[in-house]
Structures are given as C-alpha cells and as structure tokens.
C-alpha cells in the first residue's frame, strides 16, 4: 500500500499548508480536506472510496467539490465510509440543499453520484486485499482513526483525538506496525485549549507515546500554522526515544 500526504496542516495560509487528506494507492481517500484540491482531474476521477474520521470541515471540505466535479465522469457512485453519526451530520449540515445539493439523490436516488456506507469501530473493510479498520478516537464529535494493513505492514492514523487509552490497546496488538501518524494540534502554552477541544499538545503527546509498546516511525500532523516550529521544538524536548518527525505534503509512505 502507498499513502501519499495531500494535506496535514491544522489550517491554511500558503501553498504548503493544506488540511487533512491522504491518498491511499490511487482510489481511496482517508479524509478529504483542502489537500484534495491539488490532485489533477484524472487523479480525482480514479477515487472510488472516502474514509472519513469525523465531520469537521477541515476533514471533509473537498467532498462536495469532488463529487460535483467527477460525478458525471463515473460509472458508479463515490462511496463515503463513515460512522452513522457522521453521515447524519453530513446529510443534515452539508449535503442538505442549502449548503450543497444532496448528491445521494442526484441525478436520481436509484443512480446517485454519492452513496454512504456505515462503519463501526473494530469492523474491518477489505478492498482488493487492503484492510481498513476504524479504531477509537476521542474528539468533540463522533470520530475514529484508521488502521491500514497491507498484510506486510500497517499504518495507523489517529485522526483528531485527545488522550485515548482505548487507542493504545488496539495499536499495541498490531504486530506489523510500521508507521504511526498522530496529531498534535497545539503548543504547550495552549494545553488548556487542547484539552477542551480534545486535541493533543506536546506534553500530552509524550504521555500518549509512553503507552506505545511497538516500534514504529512516528509522524506528527495537524499542527497550527504559525506554531509549527515551536511546537516541533517542544515535541523534540519531551517525546523521548520515538523522535517524531513532522509530516509534510507529498510525502509517500509505503507499507
């Protein structure tokens, strides 16, 4: 499996700052933030599946434009995989005819451009030999992370989450873990804000990584623009032997 980073920023503000989105091989998106907009029309047309961690705009912003752009070019609907609560939020607050048309009914309910598939934590979806399993996350809205398993190796993306013992119970059972992508949205001076918004800061990241019992390359995502350098400095000072690296656009991880 091949994961290409399309966006990994906690905001926008320059050509290298795109919000959360990853392209798995050529046909699967993991989240669909603003980074999806950098794909070519040909690349967009190949996407068959989107796996959403949660409903916040920085993770779903490109879905309306994507389905509007390529819907008429496709022979089957684009499938959005998400928790039931997330699907309901998207139906009620995004694809609601007021913000954007409901593409699950266009051009007809029988042959729509978009369809939803409910997911549950712990239940694996297999797509052409690729196993994708939703894993626990703790955020301000219903949320998951994802365990991606090629059979040879695994990658875990935590999604947006605060401290989360349930996550580590899952991760520590993954024998072939190669990569861990974990968020750190705030610097230590904003620890209170991180806690109330259920994100991590470097101090809480270090506390969480202390629970990791597997060897893995650790990458940091979702840092706020303008806070990247001081946040990474704080991570280097407190994150211990894992030596996390900053995730960057267009990085490709193969596993």
> Model pTM?
0.96
Q: Please say whether the beta carbons of 6 and 39 come within 8 A.
A: yes
The DSSP annotation for 63-85 comes to HHHHHHHHGGG-SSPEEEEE-HH
Its domain, for residue 63, covers 2-254
Is residue 38 predicted with pLDDT exceeding 90? yes
| Predicted confidence (pLDDT) at residue 240 exceeds the cutoff of 90 | no
Structural domains counted in the chain: 1
Give 3-state DSSP helix, strand, coil % of the chain, rounded to 5. 30, 25, 45
Pairing state between β 2-7 and 21-24:
antiparallel
pLDDT greater than 90 at residue 112: yes
**pLDDT tens digit sequence for 59-89:** 999 999 999 999 999 999 999 999 999 999 9
Instruction: Report the pLDDT value the prediction gives residue 79, as an integer from 0 to 100.
Output: 98
Alpha-carbon gap, residue 30 to 49, rounded angstroms = 9
| Confidence label for 239 from pLDDT (cuts 50, 70 and 90) | confident
pLDDT of residue 105: 97
Radius of gyration of the chain (CA): 18
CATH code assigned at 248: 3.60.15.10
Edge to edge, the sheet with strand 130-136 lists 125-127, 130-136, 144-149, 154-157, 177-183, 217-221, 245-246
pLDDT at 132 over 90: yes
Q: Please, which residues have CB within 8 angstroms of residue 28's CB and are 6 or more apart in sequence?
A: 47, 48, 49, 50, 51, 127, 130, 132
Give tens-digit pLDDT for 5-18. Answer: 999 999 999 888 99
For the segment 30-43, the average pLDDT, to the nearest whole number, is: 97
């Amino acid at each position: 499996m091949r994961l290409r980073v399309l966006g990994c920023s906690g905001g926008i503000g320059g050509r290298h700052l795109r919000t959360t989105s990853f392209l798995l091989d050529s046909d699967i998106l993991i989240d669909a933030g603003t980074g999806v907009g950098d794909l070519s029309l040909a690349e967009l047309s190949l996407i068959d599946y989107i796996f959403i961690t949660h409903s916040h705009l920085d993770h779903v912003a490109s879905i309306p434009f994507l389905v509007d752009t390529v819907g008429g070019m496709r022979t089957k609907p684009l499938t959005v995989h998400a928790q039931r609560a997330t699907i309901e939020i998207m139906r009620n607050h995004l694809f609601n005819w007021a913000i954007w048309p409901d593409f699950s009914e266009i051009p007809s309910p029988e042959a729509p451009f978009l369809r939803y598939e409910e997911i549950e934590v712990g239940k694996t979806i297999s797509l052409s030999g690729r196993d994708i399993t939703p894993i626990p996350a703790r955020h301000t809205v219903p949320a998951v992370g994802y365990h991606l398993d090629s059979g040879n190796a695994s990658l875990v993306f935590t999604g947006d989450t605060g401290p989360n013992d349930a996550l580590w119970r899952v991760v520590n059972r993954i024998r072939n873990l190669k990569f861990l992508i974990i968020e750190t949205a705030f610097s230590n001076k904003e620890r209170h804000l991180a806690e109330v918004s259920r994100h991590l800061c470097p101090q809480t990241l270090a506390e969480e990584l202390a629970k990791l019992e597997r060897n893995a390359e650790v990458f940091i995502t979702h840092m706020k623009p303008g806070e990247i350098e001081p946040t990474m400095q704080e991570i280097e000072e407190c994150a211990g032997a894992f030596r996390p690296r900053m995730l960057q656009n267009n990085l490709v991880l193969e596993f």
